[in-house]
Amino acid sequence: MDLAALHELARKGADYSYSPYSHFRVGAALLCDDGTVFLGTNVENRSFGLTICAERSAIVAAASAGKRSFTALAISTPDSASPVGPCGACRQVISEFMEPDAPVRFGGSDGSLVDATVGSLVPFDSLHELASRLGEADR
């Protein structure tokens, strides 16, 4: 599946948003290595710290179904003209489950898109840096 199709699915995921406080819908589509796609949406709570973002929603849904290998992520923010990237908490969770070279696309309602990688979103990712250093020590 290409990023354009994945981003369209993310847009559909935003339709399921529960955002009565911010009125800011977000959808995410997560592509697994076997071709399965999981959608996520933001789910707000009046105690804002309990809100879950679309990106984490998709990852949690996939992990709950036993999936652990993800190859691409798309995020849609239809209530913002310009693209909005993942928040810091989402970046951390994304980097836990995806390789640094995995593509991430996010876009707003005006059609503009940002194509990035997990590594560019989390440039100093200690998890992957440590793993590569440990791997080098084993050689």
Catalytic positions, written as ranges: 55
- Token duo for residue 22: 């911010």
In the structure encoding, which two tokens stand for residue 25, read together? 């819908």
For residue 24, give the DSSP letter: -
Measured CA to CA, the distance from residue 28 to residue 113 in angstroms comes to: 14
115, 122 Cβ separation under 8 angstroms: no
**Distance between CA 17 and CA 49 in Å, rounded?**
17
Single-letter amino acid, residue 64: S
